[in-house]
Amino acid sequence: MGTLLYDGSKAVFEDRLLAHLHIVIVQKLRRGEGFTMSWVNATAIGSGRTSIWLDRTIPLRFDFSGSRVPAINRDWVEALQRSADSSTGLIVTDEDGKLARCGRN
């Protein structure tokens, strides 16, 4: 499980999902584009969803639990990128396009 640390908050994702999010988020922020990112909260932390505003002026850190970079699925990256470019912002989904759950630690 990897962690996305942003503006004092932590969100926990599977390393493989986090690696794909990393690619999409970095691409957007390198272009100077702010955007929202939303996910469904894990059952363990209650129901609902979380949405954050990502902007390159706010510190952001990706911590991966594993030392190896997982295999990257270009189709998944493209689907996440299309979501990030839409008016709804980046909706975190798994490789099959289903809403992915996120925990907090």
Looking at residue 41, what is its pLDDT? Answer: 85
Strand, coil or helix: 77: helix
- CA gap 7, 81 in Å, rounded: 22
- Please report, in tens digits, the pLDDT of each residue of the chain (105 residues total): 899 999 888 999 999 999 999 999 999 999 999 999 999 987 777 778 899 999 999 999 999 998 998 999 999 999 999 999 999 999 999 999 998 888 764
- The first and second tokens of residue 6, run together, are 């942003």
What per-residue confidence (pLDDT) applies to 66? 87
Residue 25: strand, helix, or coil: helix
Measured distance CA(1)–CA(6) in Å, rounded = 16
Q: Would the pTM count as exceeding 0.85?
A: yes
Q: Where are the domains of the chain?
A: 2-11+34-102
